[in-house]
Amino acid sequence: MTEDRPYLYAKIVEELREKIESGELEPGDQLPSRPEIQRLYGVSNSVALKVSQILVSEGLAEARAGSGTYVRARPKRRTLVRNFTLRLTDSGSSAVFDLPEQGHQVLLRTTSRPDVAPGPVRERLRMDPAGEEPDVIRTESLFEVDGVPSEKTVSWELLAITGGTPVMIPGKSENLLGIADRFRSIGVIIAGCVDQVDARIAIAEEVEALRVPPGSVVHVLTRTHYDLDGRPVETAESVLSAERYTLTYGEALPTS
């Protein structure tokens, strides 16, 4: 057996990665087991284990308990268009709004509760220091497209605005589908929004909710809505798998 060196991880991973990306190893094919990697490359069990862990973390393979490691079928990437208009769902997200019109089945699960806004949310909503009483409605939403989780969103709305009104709980006002309509019904006009787009590694709860491999990169979209006076009235954070979705912003220009 050869001496284990760090570069051996990369060498074996690169060889297997090339076989996967070239199609020599197809989705569902079983990858060499740890004993096979040890025998083929003359490395220790720890190196063979590291190879499998890297391929799984990159989303190229999936480990099946008691069976082995297999080439993972990667999803076809969709493009989601996020317009600057206010055609928004109750959670504050517009990323999957048009998918039903494209023939996709979209399921939305939401839960809402009064809460004390955390620090970053307080900053975005220009709130006073936190007290002991709830000051926002916190809504968690999970979108599924064709049975696959696509977007996890958390939104916060100021109780000072919606508290005690018919639209206090998002999703309970069946005839008011979007945040703009809901707020307009209580006399608050949403004049615009500001988006911030980031990318990072998914945390554990996002891995579970979106059913993505550990180590997956996700888009993180933060959107804050403002009224006619420039006052922030709602903010939301949406997380989507970067492997499954690309994002396009803006609207088509009129043709001549």
Together in a domain, 48 and 125: no
pTM, rounded to two decimals: 0.72
Question: In Å, how far from its chain's centre is CA 4?
Answer: 38
**pLDDT value of position 83:** 60
Together in a domain, 82 and 105: yes
Residue 160's CATH number = 3.40.1410.10
Total structural domains within the chain: 2
Together in a domain, 23 and 84: no
Together in a domain, 86 and 57: no
Chunk the chain into consecutive blocks of 10 residues (it has 256) and report each block's average pLDDT, rounded to whole numbers: 62 91 90 91 89 85 86 78 51 47 77 95 95 94 88 95 90 66 92 92 93 88 95 96 84 54
Residue 51's CATH number = 1.10.10.10
Which structural domain, as residue segments, surrounds residue 34?
6-71
**pLDDT value of position 237:** 96
**pLDDT value of position 177:** 59
Last residue of a domain, one of 52, 71, 90: 71
Together in a domain, 169 and 122: yes
Q: What is the DSSP string of the chain?
A: -PPP-HHHHHHHHHHHHHHHHHTSS-TTPBPPPHHHHHHHHT--HHHHHHHHHHHHHTTSEEEETTTEEEE--PPPPEEEEE-SS----TTS--TTTTGGGGT--EEEEEEEEEEPPPHHHHHHTTPPSP-SS--EEEEEEEEEETTEEEEEEEEEEEHHHHTTSTTSSTTS-TT--SHHHHHHTTT--EEEEEEEEEEEEPPHHHHHHHT--TT-EEEEEEEEEEETTS-EEEEEEEEEETTTEEEEES-PPPP-
Please check whether residue 142 lies inside any domain of the structure.
Answer: yes
**pLDDT value of position 5:** 61
Last residue of a domain, one of 40, 71, 102: 71
Together in a domain, 50 and 122: no
Please check whether residue 256 lies inside any domain of the structure.
Answer: no
Please check whether residue 255 lies inside any domain of the structure.
Answer: no
Please check whether residue 1 lies inside any domain of the structure.
Answer: no
Please check whether residue 254 lies inside any domain of the structure.
Answer: no
Together in a domain, 113 and 176: yes
Together in a domain, 67 and 83: no
Please check whether residue 48 lies inside any domain of the structure.
Answer: yes
CA atoms of 103 and 145, how far apart (whole Å): 10
Together in a domain, 208 and 90: yes
Together in a domain, 131 and 67: no
Together in a domain, 64 and 83: no
Last residue of a domain, one of 71, 95, 119: 71
Question: In Å, how far from its chain's centre is CA 24?
Answer: 31
Together in a domain, 30 and 45: yes
Dihedral pair phi/psi, residue 4, rounded to 5°: -70, 130
